[in-house]
Amino acid sequence: MMYQLKDFSDGQCSAEIIDKADLTVRIRGNSYSDLFKAASIKEAWDYSQRDQAPRNSTLEILCLISQRSDRRFAPNESFDLKIVSDFINRMHFSKVRIFHPHSAVSLALINNSETIDHLPYVAKAYLDSGRPLLISPDAGAYKELHRIAQQLQADLLPANKVRVNGQPEILLQGELLNRNCLIVDDIADGGRTFMALAEKLKSLGAPKVFLYVSHAMFHHGLDAIKPHIDGIYCTNSYRDWDDPLIKQYAMI
Ligand SMILES: O=P(O)(O)OC[C@H]1O[C@H](OP(=O)(O)OP(=O)(O)O)[C@H](O)[C@@H]1O
């Protein structure tokens, strides 16, 4: 560890640099507090470098807060991803690596940014679940999953999601042929998208439906999703889970 963090009882956070080498800071990044911690570390590291030739600094963000707010949804609402991106840009890391961002807008707004690929985790889930048919749940997920399906030499069936009064409705583009399915997406928030899709896939003959999400939030818990999904694969980019339904790959 190149640095250590101290938390004060009033909520303040402070950083101390232990090693003046190149800096890598890996955070979940799913809270404003995490971003402030990264800022404290970078400020202390910059000062530690004042008499040296420039070194490299990398910020790795596993679950970027406000990544879904990649546009101004209404003229009287804040553009939250822009605020977060401006904050990150002011830290001046030489590289910012973001794990499976919701859209390319994060990469466009954050300077010197690149993606941490989720392919290795999808590959593990794909093999563990017995090479099922991959399902992309919506148009946004299709392009990424098409790339991954090609790399894995896996079959891919696109679904499309339209929200009607907030409820997802599903259209499938192809035949299931009684195969098990692995839905692949970036984020599970409440999980309704995947319940509705799994229900549809099972009604069309899928014996088992598995789900891979990089960022497993499940803000309403797992009880509602359990009758629909036979297994969930995810990373711990957002939080740690301890549930028999979930197989989790540790990143932090
Ligand atoms: O678990 P749930 O609550 O069902 O939400 C999960 C879905 O929401 C996100 O897409 P979103 O609808 O935000 O995509 P958009 O950018 O196309 O609006 C995410 O990519 C999932 O597809």
Token pair listed for 184? 């692949």
What is the distance between the alpha carbons of residues 122 and 215, in angstroms, rounded to a whole number?
12
- pLDDT of res. 110: 98
What is the distance between the alpha carbons of residues 220 and 191, in angstroms, rounded to a whole number?
8
What single letter denotes the amino acid at residue 68? R
Length of the chain: 252
- pTM value is 0.95
Ligand 1 within 6 A of 69 CB? no
What single letter denotes the amino acid at residue 79? F
Instruction: Give residue 157 CA to ligand 1 midpoint distance, Å.
Output: 18
- pLDDT of res. 112: 98
Comparing CA positions, the residue from 175, 186, 179, 108 lying closest to residue 143 is 186
Q: Residue 16 in 3-state DSSP?
A: strand
How many other CB atoms are there within 10 angstroms of residue 168's CB atom?
18
Residue the block writes with tokens 């009684």: 178
Instruction: Give residue 106 CA to ligand 1 midpoint distance, Å.
Output: 16
Look at the alpha carbons of 179, 245, 227, 118 in this order and tell me if their dihedral is positive or negative: negative
Mind listing the pLDDT tens digit of every residue in the chain (252 residues)?
A: 699 999 999 999 999 999 989 999 999 999 999 999 999 999 999 999 999 998 999 999 999 999 999 999 999 999 999 999 999 999 999 999 999 999 999 999 999 999 999 999 999 999 999 999 999 999 889 999 999 999 999 999 999 977 788 776 788 988 888 999 999 999 999 999 899 999 999 999 999 999 999 999 999 999 999 999 999 999 999 999 999 999 999 999
What is the distance between the alpha carbons of residues 77 and 12, in angstroms, rounded to a whole number?
29
**Which atom in ligand 1 lies closest to the alpha carbon of residue 68?**
13
Ligand 1 within 6 A of 190 CB? yes
- pLDDT of res. 169: 78
User: CA 15, 18, 21 angle in degrees (round to 5)?
Assistant: 110
Comparing CA positions, the residue from 145, 127, 200, 142 lying closest to residue 168 is 200
What is the distance between the alpha carbons of residues 101 and 184, in angstroms, rounded to a whole number?
14
Token pair listed for 136? 């992309």
- pLDDT of res. 168: 66
Token pair listed for 14? 């402070």
- pLDDT of res. 1: 67
ipTM field: 0.94
**Which atom in ligand 1 lies closest to the alpha carbon of residue 163?**
12
Q: Which domains does the chain have, with CATH numbers?
A: 3-116 (3.40.50.2020), 119-249 (3.40.50.2020)
Provide the 8-state DSSP code for 190.
Answer: S
Helix runs in the chain, H state only? 32-48, 80-89, 105-109, 119-128, 139-152, 192-203
Give the burial string for 37-46 (b: 16+ CB within 10 Å, else e).
bbbbbbebbe
What is the distance between the alpha carbons of residues 40 and 211, in angstroms, rounded to a whole number?
37
Ligand 1 within 6 A of 144 CB? no
For ligand 1, mutation pick of 106, 169, 187 (most atoms within 8 Å of CB): 187
Q: For ligand 1, atom 1, which residue shows the shortest CA distance?
A: 191
Could you tell me if 17 and 225 are in contact, meaning their C-beta atoms sit under 8 angstroms apart? no
How many other CB atoms are there within 10 angstroms of residue 241's CB atom?
15
